[in-house]
């Protein structure tokens, strides 16, 4: 009996969340800085409840904030570099899917608890190709500040994060080197398998 | 997203000894295993890493050495040493490095910073009792990160190829004279091998977090380490004023054809396996993700656990479909005014279909 309604409830849930998304269309677009501030606030919120939420809980809580503030499709496209053009549509979709889950999972894993960390937005800078870099600091008590620079690009009317540079280390460049190296050496399936392995590792890691 | 990445290790006599003793024995084995994986020569050479074959061998060698020798030692050290003592030991070695920091400040013409670091060294050596307590940081004199490799960079010496040194780990050609000069300027080098060994142990312990992060985050640990190392070293050499290569990364995106080819047609997305896609309808799909996830990981869906036959399952699915159609029609009415309603609908339908198809796929196997 319960099983019978499982899909029905799920469908209803999808409808509700979809209409919630549509309803937000009318709201004013956020600036690049606001998108970052908003995301960081949600990250902190999750960290504060991190221990009680557990990995699954954090994953669920961060799914929407990550998807809404990051341009995951564009990121997935950049990280495979020129190999993107060689992928079939099916492969592209699979990549975007698995990469999105990796992104959420790595946030859920790396921001698991709260010890009075703070984010501080320092400045904004425009880049030649019509992007913006939002310079921020992650302040961890008793440790040196971590410089986090968010590289933003417009997707339609919305600013989205496409790269995070932590103390000079660009996540995008790092992943691109890794992924293109694996694509060349071992192929697409091996890459997907490795990324899926990482997601599994994140989700099964003891807290 | 960690703040620290492994820095080039300083040469120490202790390490040199181990190097000579062990490197060539185990190094031989590692070479064979890499060649068995095959075909390195067939790939393009990375400009920053022309010796990738050799480097990967060394990387694997270091990795094994670390897992079997250094990591257990460090774990033991961390286990028996109270945190407060560990911090003290770490502070002492950091303080001794302070001399070479001051020298490099001056060589780079950063005289203000040099004065600051001198003050820092003096305060910590005296009030901080030989550097055990990092008083200076509390007084607002934060530790600056300078070394001779950075000085060479400031002087315009090119980075040179990336190298993975046996035991010592990631380096660049520029880093080698850098390490030699810094070692000479560090009192640790003149205090005998037990102190040098302790310094090496402490250094490895302080890198524990970074190494663990690489282990967790990297799909290709060799490439991850190389890129993180080179980028972070450039960042330090430029004192945090790094030019963004991001635009270079984005160059491919300027090809408008690619955009249209794949992403502008929303109706082609999400057909295969309820994948995430470009549109804001992503949220609705994401909510079913954990379920997909579990199925991909090989867990048995509920239907099968309950031991139902495929007929029963398909009948159930038909009923669900009817209910779903009803829900769909009411949704359509409610969202008529939104221009993207149809796209949303298509996607949701596809996700739903996929949900229904999954169990039968598994049955087929």
DSSP one-letter string for B282-326 = HHHHHTTHHHHHHHHTTPPPHHHHTT--HHHHHHHHHHHHHHHHH
A38-54: buried (b, 16+ CB within 10 Å) or exposed (e) per residue?
ebbebbeebbeebeebe
Q: How far is B276 from B274, CA to CA, in rounded Å?
A: 7
Q: How confident is the model at residue B29 (pLDDT cuts 50, 70, 90)?
A: very low
pLDDT of residue A66 exceeding 90? yes
SS (H, E, C) A149-187: EEEEEEECCEEEEEEEEECCEEHHHHHHHHHHHHHHHHC
The Cα B166–Cα B156 span in angstroms is 27
pLDDT attached to residue B11: 39
Kindly state the tokens that stand for A96.
């975007």
Question: Taking CB atoms and an 8 Å limit, are A96 and B277 in contact across chains?
Answer: yes
User: What's phi and psi for A73, nearest 5 deg?
Assistant: -65, -45
Instruction: Retrieve residue A118's tokens.
Output: 């703070």
**pLDDT score recorded for residue B279:** 40
Of B3, B252, B280, nearest to A146 by CB-CB distance is B3
Q: What tokens does A139 get?
A: 């302040």
Tell me: pLDDT of A85 over 70: yes
The whole domain housing A108 covers: 32-204
**Residue-level pLDDT at A149:** 94
Q: Is B80 on the interface with A (CB under 8 A)?
A: no
Looking only at Cα atoms, what is the longest distance across chain B?
A: 83
- C-alpha distance from B193 to closest chain A C-alpha (Å): 30
Asked, for residue A27, whether it belongs to a domain, the answer is no
Q: Is B273 on the interface with A (CB under 8 A)?
A: yes
- The C-alpha of A168 sits at a distance from chain B's nearest C-alpha, in angstroms, of 5
Nearest-CB residue to A14 (from B2, B269, B284): B284
Q: What is the DSSP letter of B264?
A: S
CA nearest B229: which of B37, B7, B81? Answer: B7
Chain B residues in contact with A173 (beta carbon < 8 A): 227, 231, 245-246, 249
The mean per-residue pLDDT over the stretch B215-239 comes to 93
- A202 pLDDT band, cuts 50/70/90, is very high
Q: Which residue has the tokens 């040469």?
A: B11
What separation, in Å, do the N-terminal and C-terminal C-alpha atoms of chain A show? Answer: 36
Distance CA B91, CA B199 (A): 11
Ordered alpha helix ranges (H), chain B:
13-37, 52-65, 71-80, 83-107, 111-126, 135-138, 148-154, 175-184, 193-206, 208-217, 221-237, 246-250, 256-262, 282-286, 289-296, 302-305, 310-334, 341-364
Asked if the structure places residue A119 within a domain, the reply is yes
- SS3 for A138? strand
SS3 B32: helix
pLDDT at B256 exceeding the cut of 50: no
Give the residue from A1, A16, A18 with the most B CB atoms within 10 Å of its CB, the best one to mutate.
A18
* Residue A174 lies inside a defined structural domain of this protein: yes
Q: How many domains does chain A have?
A: 1
Residue at A165 is within a domain: yes
Identify the residue whose tokens are 């809580």. A61
pLDDT higher at B291 or B115: B115
Contact A18 B284 (CB under 8 A): yes
Residues of A in contact with B49 (CB under 8 A): none
- Chain A touched by B300 (CB under 8 Å): no
The two structure tokens encoding residue A97:
């899917």
Instruction: State whether residue B296 sits within 8 Å of chain A by CB.
Output: yes
Report the residue of B221, B264, B276 to disrupt the A interface, i.e. the one with the largest count of A CBs within 10 Å: B276
**Residue A143 resides in a domain:** yes
- Chain-chain contact of B351 with A82 (C-beta, under 8 angstroms): no
Query: Average pLDDT, stretch A144-158?
Result: 92
Residue A21 in any domain: the answer is no
Q: Is-above-0.90 flag for pTM?
A: no
Show residues of chain A in contact with B284, CB under 8 Å.
14-15, 17-18, 21
Q: Which of B264, B355, B351 minimizes the C-alpha distance to A17?
A: B351
Q: Which one of B224, B262, B281 has the shortest CB-CB distance to A21?
A: B281
Alpha carbon of A136: minimum distance to chain B alpha carbons (Å): 13
Contact B302 A3 (CB under 8 A): yes
In a domain, A149, yes or no: yes
Q: Which two tokens stand for residue B67?
A: 């897992």
Cβ within 8 Å, pair A176-B262: no
Interface contact A64-B286, CB threshold 8 A: yes
Question: Alpha helices, DSSP H only, in A70-144?
Answer: 72-79, 89-110
B200 CB burial (10 A radius; 0-12, 13-18, 19+): buried
- Dihedral of CA A103/A108/A113/A114: which sign? positive
Using the beta-carbon criterion (under 8 Å), do A173 and B249 form an inter-chain contact?
yes
Size of interface A-B (CB pairs under 8 A): 232
B266 pLDDT band, cuts 50/70/90, is: very low
Q: Return the SS3 of B219.
A: coil
The percent of chain A in helix, strand and coil, each rounded to the nearest 5, is: 65, 20, 15
Q: Tell me, what CATH number does A135's domain have?
A: 3.10.450.710
B90 phi and psi angles, rounded to 5 deg? -60, -45
CB B84 within 8 A of CB B134: no
Q: Contact, A11 vs B349, CB < 8 A? A: no
**Among B165, B162, B156, B124, residue whose Cα is nearest residue B143:** B124
Closest by CA to B10, choosing from B142, B167, B153, is: B167
A6 domain-assigned: no
How far A123 CA sits from the closest chain B CA (Å)?
14
Query: Which CA distances in Å does A138 have to A144, B233, B361?
Result: 9, 20, 46
- In this model, does residue A76 exceed pLDDT 80? yes
pLDDT, mean of residues A67-74: 94
What does the pLDDT read at residue B322?
63
Instruction: Give dist(CA B177, CA B181) in Å, integer.
Output: 6
CA distance B145 to B147: 7
Residues of A in contact with B273 (CB under 8 A): 93-94, 97
Name the phi and psi angles at B7, rounded to 5.
-95, 165
With 80 as the cut, is the pLDDT of residue B316 above it? no
Residue B136 in this model has a pLDDT that exceeds 90: yes
| pLDDT at residue B265 is higher than 50 | no
Rounded distance between C-alpha atoms, residue B5 and residue B361, angstroms: 45
Q: What tokens were used for B264?
A: 């502008």
User: Is it the case that residue B354 has pLDDT exceeding 70?
Assistant: no
On the question of pLDDT at B267 being above 60, the answer is no
């Amino acid at each position: 009996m319960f099983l019978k309604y499982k899909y029905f409830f799920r469908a209803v849930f999808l409808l509700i969340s979809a209409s919630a998304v549509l309803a937000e269309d009318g709201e004013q677009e956020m600036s690049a800085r606001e998108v970052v501030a908003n995301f960081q606030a949600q990250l902190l919120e999750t960290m504060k409840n991190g221990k009680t939420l557990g990995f699954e809980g954090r994953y669920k809580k961060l799914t929407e904030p990550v998807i809404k503030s990051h341009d995951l499709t564009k990121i997935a496209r950049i990280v495979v570099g020129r190999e993107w053009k060689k992928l079939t549509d099916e492969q592209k979709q699979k990549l975007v899917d698995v990469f999105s889950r990796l992104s959420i999972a790595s946030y859920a894993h790396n921001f698991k608890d709260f010890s009075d960390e703070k984010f501080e937005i320092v400045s904004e800078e425009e880049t030649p190709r019509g992007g913006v870099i939002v310079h921020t600091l992650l302040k961890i008590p008793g440790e040196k500040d971590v410089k986090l620079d968010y590289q933003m690009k417009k997707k339609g009317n919305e600013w989205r994060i496409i790269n995070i540079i932590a103390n000079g280390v660009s996540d995008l460049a790092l992943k691109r080197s890794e992924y293109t190296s694996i694509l060349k050496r071992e192929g697409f399936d091996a890459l997907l398998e490795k990324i899926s392995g990482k997601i599994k590792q994140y989700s099964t890691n003891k807290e | 997203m960690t703040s620290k990445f492994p820095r080039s290790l300083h040469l120490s006599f202790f390490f040199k000894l181990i190097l000579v003793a062990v490197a060539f024995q185990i190094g031989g084995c590692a070479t064979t295993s890499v060649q068995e994986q095959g075909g390195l020569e067939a790939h393009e050479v990375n400009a920053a890493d022309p010796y990738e074959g050799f480097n990967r061998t060394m990387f694997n060698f270091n990795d094994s050495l670390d897992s079997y020798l250094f990591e257990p030692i460090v774990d033991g050290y961390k286990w028996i040493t109270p945190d407060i003592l560990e911090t003290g030991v770490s502070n002492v070695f950091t303080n001794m490095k302070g001399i070479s920091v001051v020298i490099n400040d001056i060589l780079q013409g950063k005289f203000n910073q040099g004065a600051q670091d001198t003050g820092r060294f003096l305060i910590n050596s005296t009030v901080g009792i030989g550097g055990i307590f990092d008083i200076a940081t509390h007084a607002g004199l934060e530790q600056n990160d300078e070394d001779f490799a950075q000085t060479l960079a400031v002087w315009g010496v090119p980075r040179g190829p990336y190298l993975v040194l046996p035991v010592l780990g990631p380096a660049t050609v520029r880093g080698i004279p850098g390490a030699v000069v810094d070692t000479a300027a560090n009192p640790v080098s003149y205090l005998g091998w037990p102190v040098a060994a302790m310094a090496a142990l402490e250094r490895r312990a302080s890198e524990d977090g970074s190494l663990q992060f690489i282990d967790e985050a990297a799909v290709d640990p060799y490439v991850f380490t190389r890129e993180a190392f080179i980028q972070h070293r450039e960042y330090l050499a430029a004192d945090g004023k790094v030019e963004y290569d991001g635009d270079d990364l984005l160059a491919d995106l300027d090809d408008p054809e690619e955009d249209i080819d794949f992403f502008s047609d929303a109706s082609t997305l999400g057909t295969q396996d309820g994948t995430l896609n470009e549109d804001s309808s992503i949220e609705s799909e994401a909510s079913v993700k954990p379920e997909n996830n579990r199925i991909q990981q090989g867990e048995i869906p509920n239907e099968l656990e309950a031991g139902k036959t495929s007929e029963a399952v398909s009948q159930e699915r038909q009923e669900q479909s009817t209910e779903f159609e009803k829900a769909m029609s009411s949704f359509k009415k409610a969202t008529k005014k939104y221009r993207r309603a149809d796209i949303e609908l298509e996607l949701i339908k596809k996700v739903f279909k996929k949900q229904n198809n999954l169990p039968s796929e598994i049955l087929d196997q």
